Amino acid sequence: MRTSIATVCLSGGLVEKLESCAAAGFDGVEIMDADLVAAVESPEEIRALCARLGLTIDMYQPFRDVEGVTDDEFQDTLRRAEAKFTVMDRLGTDLMLVCSNVGTASIDDDALAAEQLGALADLAATHGIRLAYEALAWGRYVNDYRHAWDIVRRADRPNLGTCLDSFHILSRGDDPSGIEQIDGERIYFVQLADAPVLDMDLLSWSRHHRLFPGEGGFDLIGLLGHIDRAGYRGPISLEVFNDTFRQTDVSRTAAHARRSLTWLADRTSEAEHRAQDRLPAAQQARGIDFVEIAGQDLAPVDELLSQLGFSFGGRHRSKDVRLWEAGDARLILNEQRRSESCVLSAIGLSVDDAATASARGELLGAPPVFRRTYAGEHELRAVAAPDGTEVYWSDAGAEPAWLPEFVGGSLAATPLRAVVDHINIGHPWQEFDEAVLFAGAVLGLTPEPVEEVPGPVGLVRSQVMRSADDVVRLAINVAPPTSPEPPRHVALACDDVLAATRHAKAAGAALLPVPANYYDDLEARFGGTMDRALLDELRALGVFYDRQGAGEFLHVYTQAVGGVFFELVERRGGYDGYGAPNAPVRLGAQRRVAAHR
Ligand SMILES: O=C(O)c1ccc(O)c(O)c1
Ligand SMILES: [Mg+2]
């Protein structure tokens, strides 16, 4: 797949954008007119830079307000176009994007539109330039790709074709299968954007919320299949107007964008027989091997885990690392990284083939992580997620291969038997989409619908990504910008949260206090259908409750140690959520505790 990207996706000046696109491995770019106009470099200098960087200039865009206008207006359009054709000659690019008219169109007449586009194409031909006509979803009269193709056919010029843009097709819910009716030679360009499924006006949705493939709700794989079957063999270009990507680090966004196309090419390669685009298969996690917490002084975490009913699993033979266990839940405390306060720093996953998992991660641009190992120690393969969290893979077995490296653990049975239910990672707002792409592409997880939870300092957006068998459930949260350190937590599932909470309280664990108002409300909501004794016990212990149909969810939180806290959960009757209705109360309680420290 030849890859391209519109300069409008990125922040910074044109030269920085081009350098970042080349560094990220794109083959070409679409240069946005406004980016060139604002640059101090001449078109000749930009052309030379692209040549030096190995980037082709695949398209110049956009040219607006062409068709459906009065004759006077059209004469001015030709004058304007001539000036831009000259710029394109200097840039050395031969394809111009022409958007369907959204502003000046006053005449709804396909014959006139075809005539005017034809005349513009004839003028372009004197420069050796081709035009790609694109239906914008909010075009005044032309807003459907089939309509744009009709007009192109009607104009019937050898240098006039169409540009397909996934956003304009899928945002309107148009049937993309009609693409196969288009002559592939006349599809001059393909622009791709994903987007969250939103119910809002098309223009604002398009200009602010587009996403890179794999981060939204559009079926881009299906769309590419139609485009491929139409016979299109040109570049696949990203055109993603997004408020976040336009203001964040340009080289990081370019790499992120390129990763989305690597993922997409892999997903479409099977159907389209493009073996060169194929990646090693995503490895579904069989289990969570461990969760690691790192920090300078983790004694308070040792204490808390002991109070929760974990048992000490020993110290590592050669490193300043300790293990705590409760049934199948294993927590590693790592004091080797002395610069950090207490953070959730790594996740270990067991998979069928760890080598394949890490090879895939690296091909998707995730940086490999190396930790020093000593003779006889198990070497784990790992990459870093976009936020720096390390993901380790090990081959699934009866028990983790690294377990014997921990010595001196207590042999007593654990009071708590648990398994990691979900892991919740707070991210700064600008890293959210990248994290979603990483979890989907590298970890092979599938997104659940986004939840939004009102917190005391802003709306918290939460996207759970999970494996097919629910072994891994990763909640990606956007922390409110005012929270100093994005909080993270590990939720541990056990059979009896009430008993576990009694045990933890008796052992002196600092649990999160829950306000009485919460239980008054619980009584109002469920009092009619809930056992009185249960309600009283929830209130006495500070345990949260939620219900979905016949399913019930009991959960309780510890207070945070640094940037980490724990949750004990009990799922009854097939409850499948995360207690989202309780999140505002939890966030409020956490804020109160933090304020009193
Ligand atoms: O929002 C726009 O104006 C705009 C311009 C060019 C495009 O290719 C497009 O999809 C949208
Ligand atoms: Mg477009």
Q: 8 CA distance to ligand 1 centroid (A)? A: 10
pLDDT of residue 483: 65
pLDDT of residue 534: 96
Residues of the chain with CATH 3.10.180.10: 287-408, 418-595
Backbone angles phi, psi at 346, to 5 degrees: -155, 155
Asked if residue 354 lies in contact with residue 381, where contact means CB atoms within 8 angstroms, the answer is yes
CATH node for 418-595: 3.10.180.10
Give the model's confidence band at 485: pLDDT under 50 very low, under 70 low, under 90 confident, else very high: low
Ligand 1 atom index nearest CA of 168? 10
Instruction: Please state the ipTM of this predicted complex.
Output: 0.99
Q: 172 CA distance to ligand 1 centroid (A)? A: 15
Ligand 1 atom index nearest CA of 193? 10
Q: 476 CA distance to ligand 2 centroid (A)? A: 29
Beta carbons within 10 angstroms of residue 122's beta carbon: 14
- The answer to whether 191 is annotated as binding is yes
- The answer to whether 249 is annotated as binding is no
Provide, rounded to the nearest whole percent, the portion of the chain with pLDDT above 90: 83
| Greater model confidence, 373 or 59 | 59
136 ligand 1 Cβ < 6 A: yes
Q: Write down the architecture of domain 287-408 according to CATH.
A: Roll (3.10)
pTM reported for the whole predicted model:
0.89
Counting ligands in written order, the one closest to the CA of 137 is 1
191 ligand 1 Cβ < 6 A: yes
pLDDT of residue 499: 98
Counting ligands in written order, the one closest to the CA of 97 is 1
350 ligand 1 Cβ < 6 A: no
Asked if residue 457 lies in contact with residue 486, where contact means CB atoms within 8 angstroms, the answer is no
Give the model's confidence band at 339: pLDDT under 50 very low, under 70 low, under 90 confident, else very high: low
35-89 per-position pLDDT tens digit: 999 999 999 999 999 999 999 999 999 999 999 999 999 999 999 999 999 999 9
Counting ligands in written order, the one closest to the CA of 205 is 1
pLDDT over 90 (residue 239): yes
Pull the structure tokens for residue 25: 């491995």
546 ligand 1 Cβ < 6 A: no
d(CA 479, CA 248): 17
Beta carbons within 10 angstroms of residue 417's beta carbon: 18
62 ligand 1 Cβ < 6 A: yes
Going by alpha carbons, the residue nearest to atom 5 of ligand 1 is 62
Nearest to 9 by CA among 263, 364, 249: 249
Q: Which residues contact 528 (CB under 8 A, 6 or more apart)?
A: none
Task: Sort 272 into a burial class: Cβ within 10 Å, 0-12 / 13-18 / 19+.
Answer: middle
pLDDT of residue 540: 97
Strands (E), 264-334: 287-294, 311-316, 321-326, 329-334
Residues of the chain with CATH 3.20.20.150: 3-271
Ligand 1 atom index nearest CA of 163? 8
CA angle 71, 76, 81 (to 5 degrees): 120
Give the model's confidence band at 270: pLDDT under 50 very low, under 70 low, under 90 confident, else very high: low
User: Among all chains, which residue has been given the structure tokens 């409760």?
Assistant: 326
Is 110 strand, coil or helix? helix
Q: What is the mean pLDDT of residues 217-226?
A: 96
Pull the structure tokens for residue 178: 């009609």
150-170 per-position pLDDT tens digit: 999 999 999 999 999 999 999
d(CA 418, CA 318): 28
pLDDT over 70 (residue 338): no
- The answer to whether 134 is annotated as binding is yes
CATH node for 3-271: 3.20.20.150
- The answer to whether 567 is annotated as binding is yes
- The answer to whether 239 is annotated as binding is yes
Helix, strand, coil percentages (3-state) for the chain, rounded to 5, are 35, 25, 35
Counting ligands in written order, the one closest to the CA of 8 is 1
Q: Which residues contact 103 (CB under 8 A, 6 or more apart)?
A: 64, 65, 140
6 ligand 1 Cβ < 6 A: no
